[in-house]
Chains A and B, each alone.
Chain A
Amino acid sequence: MMAALTLESLGKTYAGGTTAVSDVSLAVADGEFIVLVGPSGCGKSTLLRMVAGLEEISTGTVTIGDRVVNRLEPAERDIAMVFQNYALYPHMTVRENMSWGLRNRRIPAAEIAARVEEAARMLELQAHLDRKPRALSGGQRQRVAMGRAITRQPAAFLFDEPLSNLDAKLRVTMRGEIRKLQKRLGTTALYVTHDQLEAMTLADRLVVLNGGKIEQVGRPLEVYHRPASTFVAAFIGAPAMNLMDARIEAGRLMLAGVDLGAVDSGPRMVTLGIRAEDLRLRAAGGLPFRLDGIEELGATRLVHGFLEDQPLCLSLPSGADLPAGLHLGADPAAWHLFDTLTGKRLPSALHPAARSRIAAGADPLS
């Protein structure tokens, strides 16, 4: 059975008065893959654990399928969870790890065996079914944790940073597998990570959390191309989006004393965001850039420096040495303007050319 998942003005306040999550509302469609992303302490894990039933809900409701599950035990919520440290039972074999929960539910032995076989086949764990977790590699343990969730056939998978204990290479492989598996099973998934790249590649929709509140919900490219706030802009994408103090004077956007072009707004202070890959070198004119250092990444290079006293990073193809003094420019379509005080996006202030860019759908990861 699969199901939609609804969170309604969910809040969590601890006994000491600390608020970990406040007023989170989210409707997850059946079969959707939702990633909760944010820095540590943003409340993403707490939120997941509230859905799992491991953390008490202070306010609001969680609905799985058509049941409000607030008062149900974790086992009664029809969910399965994959933990950061896998939480495999060390004294049980892989097979026992996968079947213990089913036995507790008094599912017939024949069906348990069938489900375990099926999960093991999907995860290529057949050869390891009779081993104990300590005899397995990190990646294999991860698969067992997945297998334990799959055999349950739950309404929703909950993942709590399941890949963060793996090395970088394995993380990329497992990321792909989790995604494929989830699509194949069509089970609703809620996935917590602090890794924005993982979030981008896995999610149908991203939920960016900050300070226990939702900062933005949207498809990965939507979030990448139209960050709702300076927080999202700085958090999603690597290297982080350049955020600079700028001014609008007489309908012109002024940065470091240079007139960048026309904008649709009255005079005010703004934060101008430009992604590293959207900055271009100019032969002359444009923004005066003082070079500070270069990180060679192979195919591309990250060039660090200053615009007056504001740090700036641009991404360029590898090539010849650069002179110390450079001039930069950026297409108005690549501008992101934010309110300096609230950090919120100013959509109306954008040059009309920028609005069409989202449809163009440039690969955010290049």
Chain B
Amino acid sequence: MRRFRPLDHLILLLGAAFLLAPVLMAFLSSTHAAADIHMNGLYLTPGTEGLATYKKVLTQKGGFTGEVTGARMALNSLILGLGFALGKLIVSMLAAYGLVYFRFRFATPIFWGIFTTLLLPLEVRIMPSYQVMSQLGALNTTWGLIVPLLASATGTFYFRQFFKSVPDELLEAARIDGAGPWRFFAGILVPLSRPMMAAIFIIMFVYGWNQYLWPMLMTTDERFFTLMRGIKTILQVWVGSQIPDYNEAFALAVLAMLPPLGVVIVFQRLFVKGLTESDK
């Protein structure tokens, strides 16, 4: 039997407070007027300006050209997140299937060719990547935003691990049942991978939604701005203003972190499982 230990709970409560308080403050402060925040600091109590602030952030045309609204940016973030997750799922499942389930020449060099991408994050080759995209005329396009992000083989790595854990006998039974490569993939492997696909999808959605540096470089046209890009913009507007729009910045931050926060809380089990079982 374990005893009740107050110290353990104290440490956990402090940890939780340290992690959650800033998020809570951001949300609660976003419901107060900018002038109040400027005067009184951040709030831990709800205010009355919330509705007006969020409405303004979502609908007011902002930015330098005055063309982009918060809603538009949220939509762009959603497109980026969903497009990236979907693309990642398709490309990586196909590649992992090809690598795991076929005996063919050049399989080993291809394996290394693909998995070398795990060595280098986009950040270290950001400059040449930008140049390549501009040569391809892909700046300010949706595909240019999404497709290059698919180059990292994380998803392929996850699915390869998963496919390798699928018992050999399933393929053998399927072959005896008259299934060729396509039928086995569509009829057995994909349905079998559903939980794994769900886990990867939400992890990748969050990853795509959270992209910052790449969209910042790839999109100069404000119609393509995402929420992350909007945060950068709102801070640039601040410089020199008397009372910065703290409330609007917080509202934007809340919008930007709502999906990641929601996904992690709602799909906690799936998320943790996907992360810890495939990241190893």
> Is A–B contact present in the complex under a CB 8 A cutoff?
yes
Binding site for B on A (CB under 8 A): 52-54, 73-75, 79-81, 83-92, 100-101, 104-105, 148
Q: Mark B167-203, 1 if CB is under 8 A from A, else 0.
A: 1011011111111000100011001101000000000
By Cβ-Cβ distance, the 4 closest A-B pairs, closest first, are A101-B177, A87-B169, A75-B178, A104-B178
Bound complex: CA A88 to CA B166 (Å): 12
Bound complex: CA A92 to CA B179 (Å): 15
Say yes or no: B173 contacts A75, CB within 8 Å: no
Say yes or no: A75 contacts B169, CB within 8 Å: no
In the assembled complex, which residues on chain A have CB atoms less than 8 Å from the CB atom of B177?
75, 100-101, 104, 148
Q: With A75-B178, A91-B192, A104-B183 given, can you name 20 additional A-B contacts, CB distance below 8 Å?
A: A52-B172, A53-B175, A54-B175, A75-B175, A75-B177, A75-B179, A79-B176, A83-B169, A86-B169, A87-B167, A87-B170, A87-B172, A87-B173, A89-B170, A90-B192, A101-B177, A104-B177, A104-B179, A105-B178, A148-B177
> Chain A's nearest CB lies how many Å from the CB of B176?
5
Say yes or no: B172 contacts A54, CB within 8 Å: yes
> Chain B's nearest CB lies how many Å from the CB of A144?
12
In the assembled complex, which residues on chain B have CB atoms less than 8 Å from the CB atom of A81?
172-173, 176
Bound complex: CA A87 to CA B174 (Å): 9
The bracket for how many chain B residues form the interface is: 10 to 19
Residue of B nearest to A52 (CB): B176
Query: How many A-B Cβ pairs are below 8 Å?
Result: 57
Residue of A nearest to B187 (CB): A100
In the assembled complex, which residues on chain A have CB atoms less than 8 Å from the CB atom of B194?
91
Bound complex: CA A104 to CA B188 (Å): 13
Bound complex: CA A17 to CA B195 (Å): 41
Q: Can you list 16 residue pairs at the A/B interface with Cβ under 8 Å? A: A54-B172, A73-B175, A74-B176, A75-B175, A80-B176, A83-B172, A83-B173, A87-B167, A87-B169, A88-B173, A89-B174, A89-B192, A92-B191, A100-B177, A101-B177, A104-B179
In the assembled complex, which residues on chain B have CB atoms less than 8 Å from the CB atom of A104?
177-179, 183
In the assembled complex, which residues on chain B have CB atoms less than 8 Å from the CB atom of A73?
175
Bound complex: CA A88 to CA B173 (Å): 8
Say yes or no: B187 contacts A85, CB within 8 Å: no
Bound complex: CA A88 to CA B170 (Å): 7
Say yes or no: A89 contacts B188, CB within 8 Å: yes
Which among B170, B174, B176, B191 has the greatest number of chain A C-beta atoms within 10 A? B176
Given the interface contacts A90-B192, A104-B183, does A85 sit within 8 Å of B167 by beta carbon?
yes
> Chain B's nearest CB lies how many Å from the CB of A317?
45
In the assembled complex, which residues on chain A have CB atoms less than 8 Å from the CB atom of B187?
100
> Chain A's nearest CB lies how many Å from the CB of B41?
55
Which among B167, B169, B183 has the greatest number of chain A C-beta atoms within 10 A? B169
Residue of B nearest to A101 (CB): B177
> Chain B's nearest CB lies how many Å from the CB of A141?
13
Which among B170, B172, B177 has the greatest number of chain A C-beta atoms within 10 A? B177
Which among A52, A85, A100 has the greatest number of chain B C-beta atoms within 10 A? A100
Bound complex: CA A53 to CA B175 (Å): 9
In the assembled complex, which residues on chain B have CB atoms less than 8 Å from the CB atom of A54?
172, 175-176
Residue of A nearest to B190 (CB): A91
Bound complex: CA A79 to CA B176 (Å): 8
Given the interface contacts A91-B191, A91-B192, A100-B187, does A85 sit within 8 Å of B179 by beta carbon?
no
Bound complex: CA A53 to CA B173 (Å): 11
> Chain B's nearest CB lies how many Å from the CB of A50?
13
Residue of B nearest to A160 (CB): B169
In the assembled complex, which residues on chain A have CB atoms less than 8 Å from the CB atom of B176?
52-54, 74-75, 79-81, 101
> Chain A's nearest CB lies how many Å from the CB of B182?
12
Residue of A nearest to B191 (CB): A91
Bound complex: CA A79 to CA B178 (Å): 11
In the assembled complex, which residues on chain A have CB atoms less than 8 Å from the CB atom of B169?
83-87
Bound complex: CA A53 to CA B85 (Å): 39
In the assembled complex, which residues on chain B have CB atoms less than 8 Å from the CB atom of A148?
173, 177
> Chain A's nearest CB lies how many Å from the CB of B133?
40
Bound complex: CA A86 to CA B188 (Å): 15
In the assembled complex, which residues on chain A have CB atoms less than 8 Å from the CB atom of B191?
91-92
Bound complex: CA A144 to CA B218 (Å): 55
Say yes or no: B178 contacts A101, CB within 8 Å: yes
Bound complex: CA A253 to CA B112 (Å): 68
In the assembled complex, which residues on chain B have CB atoms less than 8 Å from the CB atom of A86?
169
In the assembled complex, which residues on chain A have CB atoms less than 8 Å from the CB atom of B192?
89-91
> Chain A's nearest CB lies how many Å from the CB of B73?
39
Residue of B nearest to A145 (CB): B173
In the assembled complex, which residues on chain A have CB atoms less than 8 Å from the CB atom of B183?
104
| Contact residues, B30-55 vs A (CB, 8 A) | none
> Chain B's nearest CB lies how many Å from the CB of A113?
17
In the assembled complex, which residues on chain A have CB atoms less than 8 Å from the CB atom of B178?
75, 101, 104-105
Bound complex: CA A74 to CA B172 (Å): 8
Please tell me which one of the listed residues A74, A90, A92 contacts residue B175 in the complex, with CB atoms under 8 A apart.
A74
Residue of B nearest to A100 (CB): B177
In the assembled complex, which residues on chain B have CB atoms less than 8 Å from the CB atom of A101?
176-178
In the assembled complex, which residues on chain B have CB atoms less than 8 Å from the CB atom of A53?
175-176
In the assembled complex, which residues on chain A have CB atoms less than 8 Å from the CB atom of B170?
87, 89
In the assembled complex, which residues on chain B have CB atoms less than 8 Å from the CB atom of A88?
173
In the assembled complex, which residues on chain B have CB atoms less than 8 Å from the CB atom of A80?
176
> Chain B's nearest CB lies how many Å from the CB of A242?
39
In the assembled complex, which residues on chain B have CB atoms less than 8 Å from the CB atom of A79?
176
Bound complex: CA A83 to CA B169 (Å): 7
In the assembled complex, which residues on chain A have CB atoms less than 8 Å from the CB atom of B188?
89, 91
> Chain A's nearest CB lies how many Å from the CB of B181?
12
